Amino acid sequence: MKNSNAKIDAGMKNKEKTAFRKRQDFLQKIAFLLMRLSVAAVLLILFVVAGDIFINGYSAISADFLTQMPTNQMTEGGILPCIVGTIELVVLSLLVAVPFGVIAAIYLTEYASDGKIKQAVEQAVNNLAGTPSIIFGLFGMALFVKYIGLPMSLLTASLTMGLLIMPVIIRTTQEALTAVPKEYREASYALGAAKWETIRSVVLPSAYSGMMTGIIISIGRAAGETAPILFTGAVYYYPRPPDSVFSPFMALSYHLYVMATESMNIELTRSLQYGTALILLIIVFSMNLIAVGIRKHYKKKSAKPN
């Protein structure tokens, strides 16, 4: 009797386990289906937007459009000053943000002791990463133009944009440094290496690929933001590339904004607007490809045994 009851109980438990597994498998399939649908929706929106820009903008692309200055109240001519200004803005912004961002991340991850001060700094970095870009524009104008006395120029805009993208670089660099296994550090210390030597020769090379993620994100934001440069150096019309870092400049994002909202004849410049947007996408995409290539290079390099 007892054996039969035990068999019945075991059979019921097996049935419950089987039912539970089936339910879990069903829920897992539903979750994966929802994730695939979400990814498909995002990609569909991306292709629709990019396709619309390409279809309406490719007809405006020509050698003159890429090499000439804007003329006739920017209803004719090209966008050469905007292209040069945008590239210079991105490069200078990265030169400002990357060194300071990486140094700050190294200090917070490797040197700063856990405590309220570190938590406050990290919380401040997180808050700055989510601060609207218009706030950075007003801050850059107040600090660099009004207080320090710099002219509204490419330098001032780059400093402001560098402050905008620096929190993203700090956070992504911190995550990349934290992801490096502790065994790497301990092995280096065991061989007699000092702390900075370990960071420079072991930790940073292992974290390069992750650090490049923040730089890739920053490239797109530096090239596409308008508010930070609106008050610090970008101008409506400057019919030549910047003469120096102290010169005003034209940028693709601001040029597109002006043509779409303040042009004397918006319909007349419609194709130029799409062409400008297409060139902006191509520049951002090209810079991202370069950054991705560098990231893959360092990822392969760190994966190879010494």
Is residue 200 within 8 A of residue 113, CB to CB? The reply is no
141 close to 232: Cβ distance less than 8 angstroms: yes
Phi, psi dihedrals of residue 113, rounded to the nearest 5°: -80, 150
The stretch 149-174 carries a mean pLDDT of 92
Residue 32: count other Cβ atoms within 10 Å of its Cβ.
10
Tokens 């400093």: give the residue.
Answer: 159
**7 phi, psi to nearest 5 deg:** -65, -40
Q: What b/e string do you get for 247-260 counting C-beta neighbours within 10 Å, with b at 16 or more?
A: bbbbbbbbbbbbbe
pLDDT at 233 over 60: yes
Q: pLDDT at position 305, please? A: 46
**What amino acid is encoded at 251 in this protein?**
A
Which residue in the block uniquely carries the two structure tokens 């994730």?
35
- Mean pLDDT for 42-68 is 88
pLDDT in tens, 208-221: 878 888 888 888 88
Sign of CA dihedral 159, 163, 165, 170: positive
Q: Which residue has the higher pLDDT, 236 or 92?
A: 92
> What is the predicted pLDDT for the residue at 294?
76
Summarize pLDDT for 19-37 with one digit per residue, the tens: 778 788 888 889 899 999 9
Contact criterion met (CB below 8 Å) for 91 and 84: no
How much is the pLDDT for 235?
Answer: 87
Q: Reply yes or no on whether the pLDDT at 195 is more than 90.
A: no
With a cut of 80, say whether residue 175 has pLDDT above it. Answer: yes
pTM recorded for the entire structure: 0.81
**98-133: pLDDT as tens digits:** 999 999 999 998 888 888 888 888 889 989 888 888
Q: CB neighbours of 90 closer than 8 A, spacing ≥ 6?
A: 219, 222, 223, 287
Residue 167, strand partner residues: none
Amino acid at position 299, single letter: K
| CA 108/CA 119 separation, integer angstroms | 10
Residue in 276, 265, 275, 270 with CA at minimum distance from that of residue 224: 276
Q: Report pLDDT digits (tens) over 238-271.
A: 888 888 889 999 998 888 888 888 766 777 778 8
**Furthest C-alpha separation in the chain:** 101
**DSSP symbols for 261-289:** HT-S-TTTTHHHHHHHHHHHHHHHHHHHH
The confidence band for 1, taking pLDDT boundaries of 50, 70 and 90, is low
Are 213 and 80 in contact by the 8 Å Cβ rule? The answer is no
What is the overall mean pLDDT for the chain? 84
